[in-house]
Structure formats: structure tokens, C-alpha cells
Amino acid sequence: MFVHEFVLFSLQTLCGVCYHPTYGGWFSLDGVFIFKDVLCPDLPQRAPRDVIPSQEKRVELLEKYNIPKWSFRDLLPVPKKFSEEYKKYIAAKDLNQKIAIAKKISLGCTDDQ
């Protein structure tokens, strides 16, 4: 079965996921800069690194990403993981709470130490 043929618990939408080879599952891509006047026509385009070893693991990753919270991050063993503080930051709904957590992380005052 190919991922595009996979139907996940009759969900209408199946969200894709980013998986970093060192840190595991990513929560989000937080931004992009577009420079209209910077052109690089000779810049070689590289295919993304395929870090998920099998079709079965790809299906499992999509299941874990689209259903239970956070479990997709631990699909494969990785050398480092995103901190518990970062998970709290992503889960925070209140802007002031996000700012407080970000300050704590930037000062190196995390629960992970």
C-alpha cells in the first residue's frame, strides 16, 4: 500500500509531517523569507533526505501525527529530541505564556536540565 492510497480512520484530511534526521518529528515550519530580487538560477535543487526507512513506517508516522498528540516525534530513534519546554511552547495557546516559555528557553532554564 502506498501512503497516498492509505485512508486513515476515514479522516477527510490527512496532514503531512516533517521528520528531522537528528531531532525527530518537527512541530511546525515557523516561517519563510522571500527575497524577490535574489535569483539563483544555477542553484542545484536537491531532493529532501528520505529518513523514514519503509512504507510501513511512513504509514505509522502519518497515523501517529494525525491522531495522538506528540507520539509521531518518537517514530525512529534520533540522537537528540526537542525539549519538553519546546513541547510546552508549541502547546501554549496564550501569547504571554508562549513569551514566558521562550524567555525561559533562551536563558537555558528548562526542565530538561
Percent with pLDDT over 70 in the chain: 78
Q: Whole-prediction pTM value?
A: 0.50
Residues 96 and 55 placed together within one structural domain of the fold: no
Residues 75 and 108 placed together within one structural domain of the fold: no
Q: Which residue range(s) make up the domain with 96? A: 83-113
With respect to residue 27, please indicate whether it lies within any of the assigned structural domains: yes
Mean pLDDT on 11-31: 74
Mean pLDDT on 11-26: 76
pLDDT tens for residues 33-81? 888 898 888 989 888 888 898 988 988 888 887 776 667 777 788 888 7
| Complete DSSP assignment for 8-44 | -TT-S------EETTTEE----------TT---TTPP
With respect to residue 5, please indicate whether it lies within any of the assigned structural domains: no
Total structural domains in the chain? 2
Please report which confidence band the pLDDT of residue 1 belongs to, taking 50, 70 and 90 as the band edges. Answer: very low
> Please, what is the angle between helix 84-91 and helix 95-106, to 10°?
160
- Number of helices (H) and strands (E) in the chain: give both, helices first: 3, 2
Mean pLDDT on 6-19: 64
With respect to residue 8, please indicate whether it lies within any of the assigned structural domains: no
Residues 68 and 44 placed together within one structural domain of the fold: yes
